[in-house]
Amino acid sequence: MKIHEYQAKQLMAARGIAVPEGVAVTTVAEAVGAARSLIEKTGNPVVVVKSQIHAGGRGKGRFKEHPDVAGVNVVLDGIEGGIEAAEEQVRYLASRMLRSTLVTIQTGEEGKQVNHLYVEQGIDIARELYLSVLLDRGVSRNIVMASTEGGMEIEKVAEETPQLILRETIDPAIGLAPFQAARLGYGLDLEGDAHRNFVKFVTALSELAVELDTDLIEINPLVITTDGRVMALDGKMAFDDSGLFRHSEVEEMRDESEEDPAELEAKAVGLSYIKLDGTIGCLVNGAGLAMATMDTIKHVGGEPANFLDVGGGADADQVAAGFRIITRDPNVKGIFVNIFGGIMRCDVIASGVVQAVKEVGLEVPLVVRLEGTNVEEGRRIIEESDVDVVSAVDMKDGAEKIVELAK
C-alpha cells in the first residue's frame, strides 16, 4: 500500500524526524490560507505547492489541462511582493492544479487527477542527498541506501555511477548500529552539526521502517540546510500489505481514489486482479499460473487483458464475481478460463462459470481448460449447461483457441 507525501511526512514528524512545515489542502482557499500562515510562522517568504499523487516524477510532470503548470511549483513571488503576492500566485497555481490531471513519467499518458495539494515552507538548501530504507531480498534484511546524488533517479545512479551508492545492512536483532549510521554520514561527506543531525535522522528512519512494516521509505532529496539541519524534502512510503493489520494509523491513510476501482472490487471479494491493455480476459487459479497464462496468450500472438488469480479456495460466487469484473472491460474480446484444480475443485469452477454466464450473459467467445481434482465432473457440468464454451486440452491449446476466436 502506498500513501501520499504529506502523509509520509506526518508519520515521520510524529517520530521526531525533521520535515519542513507544511499543510495538506483540498481547496484553493485552503491553499491560499496555508501559504499565508506558513510565511507568517516561518518568516520565509518562499512556499512550495506540491501535487499529491501516488506516482513519482511530479516535479517534471505537467497538467493535461494546463501544460504550462508543473506538478511541483516553488513560489518566489513573496520575496519582493510580500505575502499578498505569494497568495496571489498560490491562488493561480492551486486553481489550475486541483482536480486537473497530472502526467508524469510514472503515471502513463492518462495521468492522475490531483485531489490534494501540499503547501510547504521554502527551505534554504545547501546540499541534496538521497536516502532510503528497503528490503534487500538477497540477504533477507532491510538495508539503508544513501547517495550524494540527491534529486536524481536512483536507478540511474546505480547503473551509471554505482560507486556513489552507499549501503548498510540492518541486523534485525540489533537495528542500525551507531557506527553504521556514522559511517554513512562520513560517506556522504557530512561533518559537524550536519553529521550529528544525519545520524539521528537515519537512525529514526530505520526504526520507523520496522515499527510500521514499510516495504520502502525513500527520501529524495534529503536536504542539508544552510544552517546544518537535515530534512526530508520529499518522502515516499510503501507498506507491506501483510503487516497492515497491526497499523490502523496507516490503514486510515489509504486513498482509494488512487486505486483502480476494479482492483478494489476484486480485492473486496478475495480475488487478485490487475488490469492490463490487451483483449484476452483470463481467469486462473494461482498467481504463478495466472502470470504464465498471460505469457502463453502473448506467446501465441494475443495480448492479455488482465491478471486474475481466484486463489486456491475460491467458491462459485467468487468465480462469478471475477467473471463479472472481466466482462465489464470493454477491451475484452475473448475469455480464457484456465484451472489446474489442486485444492480448488474443477466442478466448483465449472459451476461458477455457468452461474456467471447465466447472470451476466456472454457476448464474447469463452475457452475453458480444466485439469486436476474432479475434472470429469467439471467438464460434465459445462457440457450439460447451455453455455457456449470451447474446451481446451491444455494451456497452450486453450490460449491458441481463444486468440483465434477473438480475432
Partner 1 sequence: MSILINKDTKVIVQGLGKTGQFHTDKAIAYGTQMVGAVHPSKAGTTHVFEGATDHSGVPGRPDNYRVELPIFSSVLEAIEETGADASVVYVPPPFAADAIMEAAESGIRVIVAVTEGVPVADMVRAKRYLADKDTRLVGPNCPGVITPGEIKIGIMPGYIHQPGKIGVISRSGTLTYEAVYQLTRLGLGQTTAVGIGGDPVNGTNFLDMLKQFNDDPETEGVVMIGEIGGTAEEDAAEWIKDNMTKPVAGFIAGTTAPAGKRMGHAGAIISGGKGTAAAKIAALHAAGIEVAETPTDMGAAMVRAMG
Task: List, by residue number, the catalytic residues.
Answer: 130, 218
> Which one, 98 or 205, has the nearer CB to partner 1?
205
Q: Strand 116-121 and strand 125-136: pairing?
A: unpaired
243 counts as binding partner 1 under rule CB under 8 A: yes
> Which one, 195 or 275, has the nearer CB to partner 1?
275
How would DSSP label each residue in 354-370?
HHHHHHH---S-EEEEE
The length of the chain in residues reads: 407
Q: Are 395 and 338 in contact (CB under 8 A)?
A: yes
The Cβ-side half-sphere exposure at 284, using a 13 Å CA radius, reads: 28
C-alpha cell at 340: 489446474
> Which one, 194 or 284, has the nearer CB to partner 1?
284
124 counts as binding partner 1 under rule CB under 8 A: no
- What is the closest distance, in whole angstroms, from the C-beta atom of residue 313 to partner 1 in the complex? 8
Q: Which of 83, 85, 125, 135 is close enough to bind partner 1 by CB under 8 A?
A: 135
296 counts as binding partner 1 under rule CB under 8 A: yes
Order of strands, edge to edge, in the sheet holding 101-103? 62-63, 101-103, 112-113
Q: Which of 171, 189, 249, 251 is close enough to bind partner 1 by CB under 8 A?
A: 171
Query: Among residue numbers 54 through 113, which ones bind partner 1 (CB under 8 A)?
Result: none
242 counts as binding partner 1 under rule CB under 8 A: yes
111's CB contacts (< 8 A; 6+ apart) are 64, 101, 102, 103, 104
Q: Which of 299, 328, 358, 407 is close enough to bind partner 1 by CB under 8 A?
A: 299
Q: Give the max Cα distance, the chain.
A: 81
Q: How far apart (Å, rounded) are the C-alpha atoms in residues 385 and 369?
A: 16
Site string for partner 1, 349-378 (x = CB under 8 A): ----------------------xxx-----
- What is the closest distance, in whole angstroms, from the C-beta atom of residue 150 to partner 1 in the complex? 17
160 counts as binding partner 1 under rule CB under 8 A: no
Sign of CA dihedral 286, 287, 289, 293: positive
User: Which span (167-175, 176-184, 319-327, 380-388) binds partner 1, by CB under 8 A?
Assistant: 167-175
- What is the closest distance, in whole angstroms, from the C-beta atom of residue 364 to partner 1 in the complex? 20
Spatial CA neighbour of 238 closest among 213, 203, 268, 207: 213
269's CB contacts (< 8 A; 6+ apart) are 317, 318, 321
Residues near partner 1 (CB under 8 A) are: 135, 137-138, 140-142, 154-155, 158, 171-173, 210, 213, 215, 240-243, 245-246, 272, 274, 276, 284-292, 294-299, 304, 307, 309, 312, 340-343, 371-373, 394-397, 399
